[in-house]
A and B are shown apart, each in its own frame.
Chain A
Amino acid sequence: MQALFLLGLLSAYAHAQTIDFNREIRPILSDRCFTCHGPDAAERKANLRLDLESDAKRKAILPGNATSSPLYQRITATNALRMPPAYAGHKKLADREIALIERWIREGAKWQSHWAFTSPQKPAIPTTRNTAWPRNNIDRFLLARLEKEGLAPSPEASKETLIRRLSLDITGLPPTPAELAAFLADKSPAAYENLVDRLFASPHYGERMAVDWLDAARYADTHGYQVDPEKEMWAWRDWVVNAFNRNQTFDQFTIDQMAGDLLPNPTLDQRIATGFHRNHRVNTEAGSIAAEFHVENIVDRISTVGTVWLGLTVGCSRCHDHKFDPLTMRDFYSLFAFFNNVPEVGTGGPRDGRGNLQPVMKLPAPELEAQLAAVQYKLTAARSELKSIETRLAPAQTAWESKALAHQPRWHTLEARDLKSREGVLFEKQNDGSYFASGPKPDRDVITVTAQTHLRDITAFRLELIPDPRLPAGGSGRGPNGRAVITLFEAQQARLAEPSKLRPLDLATATASYASPESVLIRVLRPMQQLTRGWSVEPELDKPHSLVLEPRQLTGYAGGTAFTFKIGNEYGAAHLLGRFRLSVTDDPYPDFPSEDVTAALRTAPAARTPEEQTLLRRYYLQRQPERRVINDTITRLNTQRTAIENKIPSTMIMKEMGVPRDTFVLTRGAYEKRAEKVTAATPAFLPPLPTDAPKNRLGLAQWLVSPSNPLTARVMVNRLWQMYFGNGLVRTAEDFGSQGIPPTHPELLDYLATEFVRSGWDRKALQKQIVMSAAYRQSAKATPELLEKDPENLLLARGARFRLPAETIRDQALAVAGLLQPKMGGPPVKPYQPDGLWEQLSVIDDRKLYIRSTGDDLWRRSLYTYWKRTVPPPSMTTFDAPTREFCVVKRTRSSTPLQALALLNDETYVEAARVLAQRMLREGGPTPSARIAHGFRLATSRTPSTAEIAVLSAGLERRLAAYKQDSAAVTQLLAAGEAPRDASLPQPELAAYTTLAAVILNLDEVVTRQ
């Protein structure tokens, strides 16, 4: 339908010749009839298929005789037989469409198979009346069509326009003044081609090209879905940039990403490349069902392959046969089988130190690997020492066992030097060294106790709850029935000599003489914001009970130790301490052993099970002081090792399982509804897998780029065309099926596709051919005639004019100001972004999450900006960058007030304007008009007209007058951004020029490539 509309805008071209089935009839049948009379067997009515010539002509169409054809009779019926039926959701056929169908049948109902599903053949090169204009075959195809329409191409654009257009299109950066000057000075006939060659050889070419590929591959720095944790895939991104720069052929580019791991002896790069299929989102939300998201992830992979390589809406056949294209559910799940054999977990499974999910590959990091080896060496030594210590200690175990049950550790009561309650509760010391609470009775409280000891090798602290008749029900707490709930026990320590140098003490375990069933002792040591749980002795409230807390490592300084304890009662409802005592011990066995341990001790040695023997041996050894020391060393080394390991970058890759998973058709696409079993296969309506191709991802990749595949080359060529003309020859870059818009220039598309394959899938060569054409070099100025006849510029009788992509807008501003840092690759960076964006939407509301980069990393190309899927960088999404949650091959292009606000007020652009102003003042010459011209030229590559200079200099003067009266405003404006300020320049002038530079950066011409 869309196609008809677009073409309808043109002259009566179509009426001059016989009706083209693919362009004029199939879209109508597809849009209005195929839903019930098309490929989907389940929905088919009257057993009639109008997508198949044989079926249609047997049952519904009599070629040459429209009025006798049931199809025509039904679409013109005036009663209930009228098609499409009148009920909801079906659109009527317009009179014009009915007339077209009538004429088509009358003229013989000539059928064609869908244009995109037959292999492109190199068409004859058309001859044109005007032979002077065409520079290459592209022009001959375009001009032949223009001549049919009675239109003439536009003149060539100026050299200034061309160098800016080429530089922005090919590298995403504007030309420098030197590049501009050199090109303008070069009067040789090869000047243009030399410029083109230089740009394609620039490393910035790969950076520009990568942006579109990252959209298609849904590349990001986080996993997505609402939890959206960090991951690390920049090695894959750098691989893409590099692949473009070395002009890797598209067939190899495809094979590496689809199946690099399955190549014989894959290189590191080939394995990194397979990350393409690991870029999809992963739902790590608690409670997600792994089997469900296993399916979702693979569906995402297939849909992406469908869009990127085949230009097909493959995902439509997940739940039913495709409504418009001959793709069955069976085809869909046969494709599914190719991707179903990766050793992965649908909800992610454990993440490595970089946030990545299995299968994952560490990247080479020689320095870190050396550090790791050193730690590993020490670790091995410490472990063997541990073994020998254990052997030495073993004989004494029997003696220990005989006394263990009766063991009473010796505790030393701690006297509080200071005891403070957050809520002003009062504490009174008792004769037994305990403290009794009185006074205010808040709902919640935290007390802070400081105490000292000279004890060394401290193994534990003890908190006793002591019943007291003065407390409710004679319990040990101040809450209902004498309850207290301990929700926190935290300790810090310092040398007695330096009591202010407090360090946190790592308390590892908590055991109690008794704990209520609701108690969660570990929460006393590791409180969670959500969970005010901890230790309570309900219902034994009137009995004394103890909680023993053991530090991970022995502690106590020579010369004495000062401790500060925090004890929390945050359960609410005044579940507060009533009477308590604190003590400390150096006894090796201070804790309340678990029931398993005591049971084993009660059992006669000969009667113990092997498990019990192991348990006792471990319990005995672990608390021996000598072993603890060496064990602490091992713990420390392990921590070091993990820290180093977590620094080694990694990247997610594809891998094939030894035994592949079974794949089934899933009824209605639901993960748990398995139907018939299928094996890996390509869609039946397309050419088969090459006979020698393996039935795995590698075979699929080879099939995608086999010359017999009718889609891949067309789809890729179309997207490259789209980069240079703003739209593809097929406007629906994502859909080449029967619902897509047919190509405006089908022969040209086929010519380019066949040339592309013939060149060995050489992308630079194809792009060069495009930019060398006269069509590309045309001026973008529109005439009233062209606007009337071809408002959408479908026929390209003028140059394309469109707003720059988000990345280019920012990169250009940085480049024009001279701020852009050329460094390529590596981990992503976090440039300026308004505060609070991540924080407002995230799980945690009180921690700063977006830590802005500093220095040069503020001014890297936007390609390297950190991409958080749930909160993507606003400076990018405001200008239509996708969220990177799913594959996108054509961005929308909008014009909104939010874009104006961003370009005027975002710190990035205010800083760029300030620095550009410095450049204008320093480099531009002595007069305002020369300086204005300099800034203008940096941003547009051309000299401003007198009228433009007049507007800009008048504005500059107005604002200069204002800033001369307001030094505070000058200081404020010039404080924008971290880039150095030039204090030697007159500051009010600099402020006024900053506003002028901002005006320039906001011009439509500057954010547009024309």
Chain B
Amino acid sequence: MNSILKQTAALATRRHFFSRMATGIGIPALASLLNANTVAHPPLPGFPHHAPKAKRIIYLHQSGAPSQMDLFDPKPQLKSRFAEDLPDSIRKGQRLTGMTSGQKSFPVAPSKFTFAQHGQSGTWFSELLPHTASIADKITVIRSMFTEAINHDPAITFIQTGSQIAGRPCFGSWVSYGLGSENQDLPAFVVMISRGRGRRVDQPLYDRLWGSGFLPSRYQGVKFRSDGDPVLFLSNPNGVSQQVRRSMLDDIARVNEINLKEFADPEIATRIAQYEMAYRMQTSVPELTDLSKEPESVLKMYGPDARTPGSYASNCILARRLAERGVRFIQLYHMGWDHHESVPRQLPPQCQDADQPSAALIKDLEQRGMLEETLVIWGGEFGRTVYCQGTLTPDQYGRDHHPRCYSLWVAGGGIKGGQSIGETDDYSYNIVADPIHVHDLNATMLHCLGVDHLRLTYRYQGRDFRLTDVGGSLIRRLLKA
């Protein structure tokens, strides 16, 4: 139904356009009139559904799955159960991945890291996250997330699109489709990728994760790169100055306008507008990615990697700059959390990469008064097992994938900070209180943006699809009153 409404809106504009043309207003003026509708596109009619708390999302996806019981979900009593086999009463015959399902035993591997409570809220964090601990009262840690997939590709696809099967739009595409764009010069949905030190060789990512699925491809995420052009094909070819480029664009527009007069196809006007947007991006994107004017104090806050292009720290600064410019959905992927081999050896450097910049981003947004209108999500696609994969010693253990419970945190627009939600059993294996499904989280995030997840739909193959598929209920406890 929405696609139809959208078409109606577009057609209405076009009609308006042609009635004006008849009265003799010049084509370029009309093209710019159309421009407002085709480039910085407005929300769908009726959106947002209610007053939004957040205007945008910064999604800090930690790809590979951080270990919850080494970071957020302390289980000190497990120390005394070192190397005991995981009781059947806990495992309940639930499925395991092919990497450990053949193991003869499932010995309990207690975390070697120490936990402490932080802030007024007394939220628990492990020693690996000192900076995140310093924002304890601004964030909410969810310890009772669960998902349906057990391997990376289906699980990331699931948390991003609401289905394990490829082909649906991702979170960012849904949001830019529903709420549109606020910026004339930048895409509504931007993606950035970094690699962690914890595991240089890690699970790969893929273009589909920021794809628009069956939504029109204009809603797909635009990937910013740290090597070469920040946006594909952004720079003029060598030997083409900005003056030459402008002259070329003027000629393209003029000949297109002649064609528009003859054929009266609104698509021609749209294309003229898209070329102007491309031209503006050539200025706006380099200005955006240039960190040279960031004050030293800000760079310092984000830690030692802040000046390294393509690092997670640098991407976090860019995320703030994108947020300042009204970009609707900013998606970061930080790779390297898949610690099958050795949590003690791989997790500490991985946390060093991610901890300080994540906390700095929250503080930076808050200092600028933007945290209240920006929703930030930090987390992976599933959790890790309490039992050890491979050789177990007190200082050496690996952990396999675990979909039945995991932890993440959210902060900012609409979120009631300074709390922990959910509880897992003694082994951080099953949820015992407040289970939160991926659909529930996504429904709640949409709610913060002023969107009723049941009404953000798109008709495809005869069905009204939504990000939350056929599930999702609001987690009221997460929300500010």
- Residues on A close to B: CB < 8 A? 1-2, 5, 88-89, 91, 224-228, 281, 283, 285-290, 296, 313, 316, 323-324, 347, 517-518, 529-532, 572, 672, 732, 734-735, 737-740, 780-784, 787-788, 791, 801-803, 834-836, 840-845, 869-872, 874, 877-878, 880, 883, 885-886, 892, 894-902, 904-907, 910, 945, 947-948, 951-952, 955, 958-959, 962-963, 966, 968-976, 991, 995, 998-999, 1002-1005, 1008, 1010
CB–CB A740/B97 < 8 A: no
CB–CB A880/B202 < 8 A: no
CB–CB B255/A948 < 8 A: yes
Task: Point out the residues of chain A lying under 8 angstroms from B156, CB to CB.
Answer: 226
CB–CB A842/B216 < 8 A: no
Could you say which of A316, A952, A973 has the most chain B C-beta atoms within 10 Å of its C-beta?
A973
CB–CB A898/B211 < 8 A: no
**5 additional A-B residue pairs with CB within 8 Å, beyond A781-B264, A787-B264, A802-B267:** A228-B206, A835-B228, A843-B203, A886-B166, A905-B233
CB–CB A737/B462 < 8 A: yes
What are 30 A-B pairs at a CB distance below 8 A? A5-B4, A89-B454, A224-B166, A226-B206, A285-B203, A287-B100, A323-B463, A732-B461, A783-B264, A784-B22, A787-B18, A791-B15, A834-B233, A841-B205, A870-B204, A870-B205, A870-B208, A871-B207, A883-B211, A904-B248, A905-B233, A905-B235, A905-B237, A910-B237, A973-B238, A995-B240, A1002-B275, A1004-B259, A1005-B259, A1010-B263
Task: Point out the residues of chain B lying under 8 angstroms from A324, CB to CB.
Answer: 462-463
CB–CB B265/A801 < 8 A: yes
Cα of A313 to Cα of B461 in the assembled complex, Å: 6
Given A843-B201, A995-B248, decide whether A897 and B237 contact each other with a Cβ distance below 8 A. Answer: no
CB–CB B255/A841 < 8 A: no
Chain A residue nearest in CB terms to B17: A787
Cα of A968 to Cα of B241 in the assembled complex, Å: 11
- Residues on B close to A: CB < 8 A? 1, 3-4, 7-8, 11, 14-15, 18, 22, 38-39, 95, 97-100, 150-154, 156, 165-167, 187, 193, 195, 199-208, 211, 214, 216-218, 222, 225, 227-229, 231-241, 243-245, 247-248, 250-252, 254-256, 258-260, 262-265, 267-268, 270-272, 274-275, 277-278, 281-282, 341, 345, 391, 393, 396, 400-401, 452, 454, 459, 461-463
Chain B nearest CB from A575 CB (Å) reads 13
CB–CB B258/A896 < 8 A: no
Chain B nearest CB from A350 CB (Å) reads 15
Chain B nearest CB from A520 CB (Å) reads 9
Task: Point out the residues of chain A lying under 8 angstroms from B203, CB to CB.
Answer: 226, 285, 843
Cα of A283 to Cα of B203 in the assembled complex, Å: 13
CB–CB B278/A900 < 8 A: yes
Task: Point out the residues of chain A lying under 8 angstroms from B232, CB to CB.
Answer: 834, 874, 878, 898, 901-902
Task: Point out the residues of chain B lying under 8 angstroms from A842, CB to CB.
Answer: 204
Chain B residue nearest in CB terms to A281: B166
* Cβ 8 A contact of B252, one of A672, A971, A1002: A1002
CB–CB B239/A897 < 8 A: no
Task: Point out the residues of chain A lying under 8 angstroms from B206, CB to CB.
Answer: 226, 228, 841, 869-871
* Cβ 8 A contact of B462, one of A732, A836, A904: A732
Task: Point out the residues of chain A lying under 8 angstroms from B208, CB to CB.
Answer: 870, 883, 885
Cα of A198 to Cα of B341 in the assembled complex, Å: 63
Task: Point out the residues of chain A lying under 8 angstroms from B241, CB to CB.
Answer: 962, 966, 969
CB–CB B250/A955 < 8 A: yes
Task: Point out the residues of chain A lying under 8 angstroms from B243, CB to CB.
Answer: 962
Cα of A772 to Cα of B128 in the assembled complex, Å: 72
Q: Is the interface of A mostly helix, strand, loop or mixed?
A: loop
Task: Point out the residues of chain B lying under 8 angstroms from A991, CB to CB.
Answer: 239
Given A91-B1, A896-B218, decide whether A530 and B211 contact each other with a Cβ distance below 8 A. Answer: no
* Cβ 8 A contact of B152, one of A5, A226, A894: A226
Task: Point out the residues of chain B lying under 8 angstroms from A530, CB to CB.
Answer: 199, 201, 341
Task: Point out the residues of chain A lying under 8 angstroms from B248, CB to CB.
Answer: 904, 955, 959, 995, 998-999, 1002
Cα of A905 to Cα of B277 in the assembled complex, Å: 15
CB–CB A951/B201 < 8 A: no
Given A531-B341, A782-B265, decide whether A1004 and B256 contact each other with a Cβ distance below 8 A. Answer: yes
Task: Point out the residues of chain B lying under 8 angstroms from A88, CB to CB.
Answer: 452, 454
Chain B residue nearest in CB terms to A1: B1
Given A883-B211, A902-B232, A999-B248, decide whether A970 and B462 contact each other with a Cβ distance below 8 A. Answer: no
Task: Point out the residues of chain B lying under 8 angstroms from A784, CB to CB.
Answer: 18, 22, 264
Given A843-B204, A947-B258, A1004-B259, decide whether A788 and B15 contact each other with a Cβ distance below 8 A. Answer: yes
Task: Point out the residues of chain A lying under 8 angstroms from B202, CB to CB.
Answer: 843
CB–CB A735/B462 < 8 A: yes
Given A784-B22, A900-B278, decide whether A951 and B167 contact each other with a Cβ distance below 8 A. Answer: no
Task: Point out the residues of chain B lying under 8 angstroms from A296, CB to CB.
Answer: 165
Could you say which of B165, B250, B252 has the most chain A C-beta atoms within 10 Å of its C-beta?
B252
CB–CB A801/B263 < 8 A: yes
* Cβ 8 A contact of B207, one of A91, A841, A902: A841
Chain B nearest CB from A967 CB (Å) reads 10
Chain A nearest CB from B412 CB (Å) reads 26
Cα of A572 to Cα of B233 in the assembled complex, Å: 43
CB–CB A885/B167 < 8 A: yes
Cα of A730 to Cα of B394 in the assembled complex, Å: 65
Cα of A970 to Cα of B244 in the assembled complex, Å: 12
Task: Point out the residues of chain A lying under 8 angstroms from B228, CB to CB.
Answer: 834-836
Task: Point out the residues of chain B lying under 8 angstroms from A968, CB to CB.
Answer: 239
CB–CB B97/A803 < 8 A: no
CB–CB B270/A895 < 8 A: yes
Task: Point out the residues of chain A lying under 8 angstroms from B396, CB to CB.
Answer: 518
Task: Point out the residues of chain B lying under 8 angstroms from A835, CB to CB.
Answer: 227-228
Cα of A925 to Cα of B272 in the assembled complex, Å: 31
Chain B residue nearest in CB terms to A896: B218
Task: Point out the residues of chain A lying under 8 angstroms from B247, CB to CB.
Answer: 955, 958-959, 995
Cα of A405 to Cα of B53 in the assembled complex, Å: 80
CB–CB A894/B216 < 8 A: yes
CB–CB B274/A313 < 8 A: no
Task: Point out the residues of chain A lying under 8 angstroms from B235, CB to CB.
Answer: 905
Chain A nearest CB from B386 CB (Å) reads 17
CB–CB A227/B217 < 8 A: no
CB–CB A841/B204 < 8 A: yes
Task: Point out the residues of chain B lying under 8 angstroms from A781, CB to CB.
Answer: 262-264
CB–CB B207/A870 < 8 A: yes
Chain A nearest CB from B453 CB (Å) reads 10
CB–CB A288/B267 < 8 A: no
CB–CB B204/A948 < 8 A: no
Given A843-B204, A877-B207, decide whether A901 and B263 contact each other with a Cβ distance below 8 A. Answer: no
Chain A residue nearest in CB terms to B97: A287
Task: Point out the residues of chain A lying under 8 angstroms from B341, CB to CB.
Answer: 530-531
* Cβ 8 A contact of B459, one of A2, A286, A844: A2
Given A287-B99, A1004-B271, decide whether A228 and B204 contact each other with a Cβ distance below 8 A. Answer: yes
CB–CB B278/A227 < 8 A: no
CB–CB A283/B151 < 8 A: yes
- Nearest first, the 10 closest Cβ-Cβ pairs linking A and B are A739-B462, A973-B239, A870-B206, A972-B239, A287-B97, A900-B278, A972-B238, A287-B99, A955-B251, A897-B278
CB–CB B255/A951 < 8 A: yes
Cα of A228 to Cα of B3 in the assembled complex, Å: 33
CB–CB B239/A970 < 8 A: yes
CB–CB A896/B255 < 8 A: no
Cα of A1003 to Cα of B1 in the assembled complex, Å: 34
Chain A nearest CB from B350 CB (Å) reads 13
Task: Point out the residues of chain B lying under 8 angstroms from A1010, CB to CB.
Answer: 263, 265
* Cβ 8 A contact of B97, one of A289, A895, A904: A289
Cα of A907 to Cα of B235 in the assembled complex, Å: 11
* Cβ 8 A contact of B274, one of A871, A896, A952: A896
Task: Point out the residues of chain B lying under 8 angstroms from A289, CB to CB.
Answer: 95, 97-98, 150-151
Task: Point out the residues of chain B lying under 8 angstroms from A91, CB to CB.
Answer: 1
Chain A residue nearest in CB terms to B156: A226
Cα of A991 to Cα of B244 in the assembled complex, Å: 11
Cα of A226 to Cα of B338 in the assembled complex, Å: 14
CB–CB A897/B274 < 8 A: yes
